[in-house]
Amino acid sequence: MPIRKSAMVPKQVSSQNSTGSAAVERWIRPEIRRLDPYHVPDAGDLVKLDAMENPYSWPDSLVDAWLDVLRDVSFNRYPDPTAHKLKQRLCETFAIPGTMEVLLGNGSDELIQLILLAVSAPGRVVLAPEPTFSMYRLITATAGMEYVGVPLRDDFSLDADAMIEAIKVYQPAVVFLSYPNNPSGNLFDAGIMQMIIEASPGLVVVDEAYHAFSNATFVTRLEDHQNLLVLRTLSKMGLAGLRLGLLAGAPQWLGELNKIRLPYNINILVQVSAEFALGHQQIFDKQTGQICRDRDALLQVLHSLDGVSVFPSQANFILFRVPAGLATEIFESIKSRDVLIKNMHPVGGLLKDCLRVTIGKPDENLAFIEALKAALE
């Protein structure tokens, strides 16, 4: 005997007002209604130095070879659900120990979501130093958990005592450590990170989105810590449009996470294109090497400017502080000179008076410096 669902629908949400705001308020969870959407400004024709992208494209010969590969793709078929060949290639490229399992995501953002959905339960806590990558907080809220941010020290280094104390008090299901940290650009002290891993009752995710620019990694420590997971992405090294992230860790954890991964989350275009691109790793190495040299040059120029204080960076961006109260004005002035960077000042806290610039091509970096100098005058 089928249940007559219509008989159970309360009067106030009749079909007439089910699209109205009352219905939205009734059904969309309050923690989601309270969120601000992830905002990506339209760069238009501006020099785009706001999103940690690699500014370089591929040589024509490489583009031709890639298009040849695409010609043979069977779009009528579902892709390999495990992306077996691509996984193998990534494990070689990233030197993932053979005893570890890996999971691929539609960007590393999807993997962050997967981890948090898997551990989500009311009252559970996700913990990270503050400020850090904003998606940790956003996805924690959508997964229905509490987020605890532990302030970094004034120089954006980890406050070991505060972190260990907070881990004791909150018993977080997951701790996120961005290594290097976005938006500050520095590498945290590896010894303190190790203490955090050892003090944590749950997972510790070391997010190495900027690994290509830092060469520091916790991948080599995966076998020492059962609760450690390492995140990588192809986005910052030069394939942001592709959307491919990788999570590495112990098979016991990843086997569970794999159960809630949607089948075919890595589409055929991504599988084929990423495999092709990783077969030409030397091009990305050359580009990221150039970006690192240009970063170091830009750091020096910024150091020499009166009124600007610069934070060290092991990533493809630089955080700097301008005279008190002027950040938004300086950001807008730089924009009026056709260069788009990121204004971190509205975030507040340690990011007060701070701006963040992504390393571009040498002429783009020069345009930025000229615009900044003009704005400071």
Ligand X SMILES: *Cc1c(COP(=O)(O)O)cnc(C)c1O
Query: In the complex, which residues of this chain contact ligand X (CB under 6 A)?
Result: 52, 107-109, 133, 178, 182, 207, 209, 233, 235, 240, 245
Minimum CB–partner distance for residue 306 and ligand X (Å): 30
Minimum CB–partner distance for residue 60 and ligand X (Å): 26
Minimum CB–partner distance for residue 333 and ligand X (Å): 26
Q: Which is nearer to ligand X, 178 or 313 (CB)?
A: 178
Name the H helices within the chain.
Answer: 21-27, 30-33, 60-71, 84-93, 108-119, 134-142, 160-170, 190-199, 211-214, 251-260, 268-278, 281-303, 327-336, 362-376
Minimum CB–partner distance for residue 277 and ligand X (Å): 14
Q: Which is nearer to ligand X, 240 or 283 (CB)?
A: 240
Among 214, 175, 177, which Cα is nearest to 52's?
214
Q: Which is nearer to ligand X, 104 or 254 (CB)?
A: 104
Distance CA 143, CA 36 (A): 15
Minimum CB–partner distance for residue 150 and ligand X (Å): 17
Minimum CB–partner distance for residue 207 and ligand X (Å): 5
Q: Which is nearer to ligand X, 315 or 330 (CB)?
A: 315
Q: Which is nearer to ligand X, 55 or 371 (CB)?
A: 55
Q: Which is nearer to ligand X, 229 or 308 (CB)?
A: 229
Among 127, 130, 131, which Cα is nearest to 119's?
127
Kindly give, in sequence order, each residue whose CB lies less than 8 Å from that of residue 44, ignoring residues fewer than 6 positions away.
Answer: none
Minimum CB–partner distance for residue 40 and ligand X (Å): 12
Q: Are 126 and 146 in contact (CB under 8 A)?
A: yes
Two tokens at 13?
A: 């949400």
Among 117, 138, 143, which Cα is nearest to 128's?
138
Two tokens at 95?
A: 């030197």
Q: Which is nearer to ligand X, 101 or 109 (CB)?
A: 109
Minimum CB–partner distance for residue 168 and ligand X (Å): 25
Minimum CB–partner distance for residue 236 and ligand X (Å): 6
Distance CA 328, CA 311 (A): 19
Vertex 109, ends 136 and 120: CA angle to 5°? 55
Q: Are 95 and 219 in contact (CB under 8 A)?
A: yes
Q: 23 phi and psi, to 5 degrees?
A: -70, -40
Q: Which is nearer to ligand X, 136 or 253 (CB)?
A: 136
Burial of 336 (0-12, 13-18, 19+ CB in 10 A): exposed
41-46 long-range contacts, Cβ below 8 Å, gap at least 24?
A: 41/340, 43/340, 45/338, 46/335, 46/338, 46/339, 46/340
Q: Which is nearer to ligand X, 27 or 38 (CB)?
A: 38
Residue nearest to ligand X (CB): 107
Two tokens at 299?
A: 């750091």
